[in-house]
Amino acid sequence: MFLSIDPDQRRRARGFTMIEAVVALAVIAVSLAAIASIIAENVRGTEVVEARLVLIQAARAVLTALPDRDKLAQGELRGEMGSERWRIDVLPFVANFVDPSQPTPWVPQTIVLRLQAPSGEIIRVDTVRLRHNSGAGR
């Protein structure tokens, strides 16, 4: 038994048509473009995180270099660290649960640090620091 295949059938069974190949290439191109877009977004996100990390490290360095609690007077301090500019405002701590007329050995101060990168990004850190009350006995 010998099966004979029609020559037209043999030609069609040999491989892909040109349209099938073009469609396959188009699908691959769209897939690669989507992958490239995801990679580019990850790179941008990494750059943002790195820039924020540099600002956070500079903020920690500025806060660490603050004068001792008894030497930190109310007012404003300014400076630069590397390429970042910073400003610290030392303010009285205001809260409805603190009675300033009550004697206490500690006086809370609000410390507001504002740090600006050369790119314009700003980080702000608000904290409270305790200072010895010079009017109360130790």
The 8-class DSSP code of residue 129 comes to E
Taking the model in full, what pTM does it have? 0.64
Residue 11 belongs to what H/E stretch?
Answer: helix 7-13
Is residue 11 included in any domain, yes or no? Answer: no
The sign of the dihedral angle between the CA atoms of 45, 53, 88, 136 is: positive
| Spatial separation of the C-alpha atoms in residues 90 and 129, rounded to whole Å | 9
Domain that holds residue 33: 18-132
Is residue 67 included in any domain, yes or no? Answer: yes
pLDDT at 131: 86
- What is the pLDDT confidence band of residue 112, given thresholds at 50, 70 and 90? very high
In three-state secondary structure terms, 37 is: helix
Instruction: Give the count of domains, the chain.
Output: 1
User: Residue 137 above 60 pLDDT?
Assistant: no
User: Residue 74 above 50 pLDDT?
Assistant: yes
Is residue 115 included in any domain, yes or no? Answer: yes
- What is the pLDDT confidence band of residue 10, given thresholds at 50, 70 and 90? low
